[in-house]
Amino acid sequence: MKYYPDWDDRCSEVLRRNAQGYTNNEIATLIEAATGKRFSVSVVSRRRASLGLDCTNRNDWSAPIKRWQVTRQRPR
């Protein structure tokens, strides 16, 4: 695969279609599969924001870790 810095309508369409159910990392993979163009997660994130699409609220595994870190840091 080759890195392509040019975002086109096909990439935007994949992003719009999958924005509610997928993370930026997953969308980057879907765009690569559909168009053959590879974009970083930060590019997908910036495009999502510029299109006015909300980010997913998926936080399947890191929320318990964050809670543990916060409670661990509190003085007793």
Predicted TM-score (pTM) of the model is 0.68
pLDDT digits (tens, 9 = 90+) for 42-65: 999 999 999 898 876 665 566 666
Quick check: is 2 in a domain?
no
Q: With 90 as the cut, is the pLDDT of residue 15 above it?
A: yes
Quick check: is 47 in a domain?
yes
Average pLDDT over residues 27-39: 94
Q: With 70 as the cut, is the pLDDT of residue 71 above it?
A: no
Quick check: is 3 in a domain?
no
The domain of 55 spans: 9-73
Contact assessment for residue 8 and residue 2, using Cβ atoms and an 8 Å cutoff: no
